[in-house]
Structure 1
C-alpha cells in the first residue's frame, strides 16, 4: 500500500561519524545548542531530513531529559522524540578548554543554532559576529522568546506565556466559555517549524551565493503570525472594519457533535456539501435562509447548534457511512493513544521502529514524501555525552579533557 514513488531510500555516507544519512540535507552538519522543545524540534526535523546534528549538552544534560517518564534515567519520552538521531557531546561552556572545543566544532559546521537569550550567548563569546569570524559561510540561527528589536527581548518565555501573549487563551474562552491553554505545546512547535524553514531558506541562499547569514526567530512573533492568519480578520484593514477574530473558529457551538453512541467531527461547509446534506437528511429546520455560504457565515453559531441536534439522531457509524458517501469531511473522535494503531497511519508506514541501547522505540515518522531524497527517522536519541570522545577524535582533539556527565544524567 506504499506508493513506490516515495519509497526510494537514497543514502549518503557521512564521513565524520560513519553513520549513513538519507534525505535532502545529507552532508549538512548542525551544531545545536538548544534545549527544551522549540530548538530541539527544529533540529530533530533537520536530522530526519539527513543532517548530522551534534547536540551540545551541559554536564547535567538537557532539562527535557527529566520531564516525562522513560525506560532509563535521563531518557524521558519528550526528550527521546525531539532529539532522535542526534549525537551528544557534553561541554561545560564555563570552561575555557570546552569553549575552545566548541570553537573547533563551529569551524566544521554548516549551521549553528542556539536558544539562549542574546546576552547569554554573547557573554559566552558565540555571537553571530564571533561565530562568523570562525566560519564566514555558516548559517547562524537564533531561537528567542521575543525578537531582539523589541523592549521584551530579554524576557524569559515558555509555551504557556507565549500562548497568553498571542491571545490563544482568550480565543479558547470565546469557544468554550473558559480561559484556557490549548492542550498541546503549540507555541514551541510552531516556532520550531518556523526556525526549520528559516534555516533551510538560508541554506538555499548560501547554495546559490556562497553567503552565510544570521537568522532570527522569536517565538512570540512566530505565534502572532500564526494566530493572525485568520484571526486578523476585520483588523487587517485601515480603518478596522471588525474585531480580530474569525467568528466560525470561535463559535461556541463549534465542537464535535454528539451522536446516538459517541461523537463525530463533521463539517458541512460549502454550498454543494450543504445541498447534498439537506437532500439526504431533510432536517425539520431546513430553510432557504441557510442556502448559501454567505448566509450561513452570518449565523454560523446557530447553524452549528441545529446540526448538533440533528447529529444526535443517528450513530457515529451511520453518519460516517452517509457523509463519506456524500463527500462531506467527517471523522470519528479518537484519543492520542489510538493514533498508534490507526489503520491509515499503518498503511502509509508512518511509525518507524528504531532499536536503541535502552529498548525499541516506535517513533512517529517523517510526514513528508520526497521521490528522490526521502527523509527518515535518523536514529535513537543519544545518552548524555554518548558521542563526546568520537567527536573529539574527529576534531583531532583526542585526549582533550572536557566535562563529563553529572551523576544521574
Structure 2
C-alpha cells in the first residue's frame, strides 16, 4: 500500500488554502485526489513568486500528491463531467457556499442520486442554519470573528492584529481532514455516504473558547472569560541579556527550581499568591513579571544551560531562517529536496507523522494546471472525440 488511504478517490473542488490543505494531507495518506480547477486555475498558483507557469510556493506546499483536471463548472458539460467523476468516487470536497453548489446542480441530493456511498464534505464560512450563512469568509475575517485579534490585544498588544499565519484555514483544514476520515470509517460500517458540513466560524470559535470560556463554563459564571495564564502580558518569549528564550514554568517543582536559581526561593515560600497552582494562576501576571525581570540578568546561552540542568522546559526562540538550519528538523528528514519536472529543485516539507506500516509519502509534486485532464477523463470512460469536444467548447484544457 502507498499509504493508509490507498484506493480512496477524492474529487476536490476546493481552492485557496483551507480545502487544499485538508486534501493535501489526505493525498499524503495515499488518497487519489483529483483537483478540479477552473480554466483560470486555483488563485493560490499566483501567490508569491510563481513564474510563467503559475506555480507559486503556497500552491506547491498545499497540492502535492494531487492530479489536476480543468473543468468549467459554469458550463453544463463541465458540471456533467463532475457528476461522472463522482459516480465512482469516495469523497467530494468543496469550499463555496452550499447554496452555490445547489444552484450548480451539484448539491448533496444531486450527487447522492448517482452515488449513495459518496462522502460530501463542505468547508465554508458559517453554518448554514445561522444568520451569517451567506457571509463571505476568509482567514482574516474568521480570525477576527472568532476573537483572535481581540485576544492578542487583551493580552498586551497595543493594537489588535491577526496571527501572522493562516491559522483559521489550517486549523479548519486539519479538522476537516479528520472529519472526512471519520466519515469514511462510518461508511465502512454502514455502507452509506453522508454530507458533512465543516464551518470555519464554529470550528474556530470552539478552538478559541475551549481555552477562554473559562469562568463562563459554569452556570452561573464563576469568574470572567479568558484563561489567565494565556492572557498574561508577560507570557511571551522572555528577553535575556542578549536575546530571547522560551520557558514554561508550570508545576510546583518548576517554580521552586526557578526561584532557587534566581536566589529568591524565600519569596515563593512567603508570598501566599504563589504557594499553589490555583493561587499562581490567579496571580500569573505578577509571577511572569518577576520572571521577566530575572531573565534579563543572564545570557540566552546561560539560561538554556541552567534551566535545562534544572529540568525546567526551555527552548530557544527560532526565526524562520533558524528553522531551515535547525539540527533536529534536519536530522529527522523534515526538509525534502525534490526535482520538479518544470520548476526545478524545490525544498519541501515531509509528512511529520511516522508509521510502522502503510507510511504516507511524497509520491509526486504539485501538478501544473490540467496536467492530468485527459488521463482522468479517460479513466471515467470519456473517448478521445468527447475530450476533444470539451476542449473545443472551452470546458477543459490539457497540458502537453
On whether the aligned pair clears a TM of 0.5, the verdict is yes
Match of 1:174 in 2: 154
TM-superposition CA deviations, 1:352-384 (whole Å, max 9, x none): 223212112221111222211211224211111
Question: Structure 1 residues 389-398 or 79-88, which shifts more?
Answer: 389-398
Residue 117 of structure 2 is aligned to residue 133 of structure 1: no
Residue 366 of structure 2 is aligned to residue 376 of structure 1: no
Q: 2:305 aligns with which of 316, 321, 334?
A: 321
Q: 2:219 aligns with which of 234, 238, 242?
A: 238
- Per-residue deviation at 1:393? 1.5
Match of 2:327 in 1: 343
RMSD of the TM alignment (CA)? 1.7
TM-superposition CA deviations, 1:251-282 (whole Å, max 9, x none): 11111111111110111211011122223331
Q: 2:87 aligns with which of 98, 104, 107?
A: 107
2:340 aligned counterpart, secondary structure: coil
Match of 2:179 in 1: 198
Q: Residues 47 and 378 of structure 1 are in contact (CA less than 8 Å); yes or no, is this contact kept in structure 2? A: no
Match of 2:241 in 1: 260
Residue 361 of structure 2 is aligned to residue 364 of structure 1: no
1:339 aligned counterpart, secondary structure: helix
TM-superposition CA deviations, 1:300-327 (whole Å, max 9, x none): 1111111111111111111111111111
TM-score (norm 2): 0.93
Residue 40 of structure 2 is aligned to residue 60 of structure 1: yes
Question: Structure 1 residues 178-187 or 362-371, which shifts more?
Answer: 362-371
- Per-residue deviation at 1:73? 3.3
Q: 2:19 aligns with which of 15, 18, 39?
A: 39
Q: Distance in 2 between matches of 1:309 and 1:81?
A: 41
Structure 2 unaligned regions, length at least 5 = none
Q: Distance in 2 between matches of 1:226 and 1:26?
A: 31
Q: Residues 283 and 310 of structure 1 are in contact (CA less than 8 Å); yes or no, is this contact kept in structure 2? A: no
- Per-residue deviation at 1:297? 1.1
TM-score (norm 1): 0.91
Q: Distance in 2 between matches of 1:283 and 1:275?
A: 9
Q: Distance in 2 between matches of 1:348 and 1:207?
A: 35
Question: Structure 1 residues 95-104 or 182-191, which shifts more?
Answer: 95-104
Q: Residues 101 and 107 of structure 2 are in contact (CA less than 8 Å); yes or no, is this contact kept in structure 1? A: yes
Q: How many residue pairs align between the two structures?
A: 387
2:144 aligned counterpart, secondary structure: helix
Q: Distance in 1 between matches of 2:185 and 2:212?
A: 31
TM-superposition CA deviations, 1:51-96 (whole Å, max 9, x none): 0100000000011111221354311111111111110000011222
Q: 1:212 aligns with which of 193, 199, 207?
A: 193
Structure 1 unaligned regions, length at least 5 = 1-11, 13-21
Residue 378 of structure 2 is aligned to residue 397 of structure 1: no
Residue 71 of structure 2 is aligned to residue 94 of structure 1: no
Q: Residues 58 and 405 of structure 1 are in contact (CA less than 8 Å); yes or no, is this contact kept in structure 2? A: no
2:357 aligned counterpart, secondary structure: coil
Match of 1:15 in 2: none
Match of 1:225 in 2: 206
Q: Distance in 2 between matches of 1:309 and 1:114?
A: 51
TM-superposition CA deviations, 1:199-231 (whole Å, max 9, x none): 100001111221211101000011001001110
1:360 aligned counterpart, secondary structure: strand
Q: Residues 57 and 89 of structure 1 are in contact (CA less than 8 Å); yes or no, is this contact kept in structure 2? A: yes
Match of 1:147 in 2: 127
Match of 1:293 in 2: 277
1:190 aligned counterpart, secondary structure: helix
Q: 1:28 to 1:285 in 2, by over 3 A?
A: same
Q: Residues 363 and 377 of structure 1 are in contact (CA less than 8 Å); yes or no, is this contact kept in structure 2? A: no
- Per-residue deviation at 1:284? 7.9
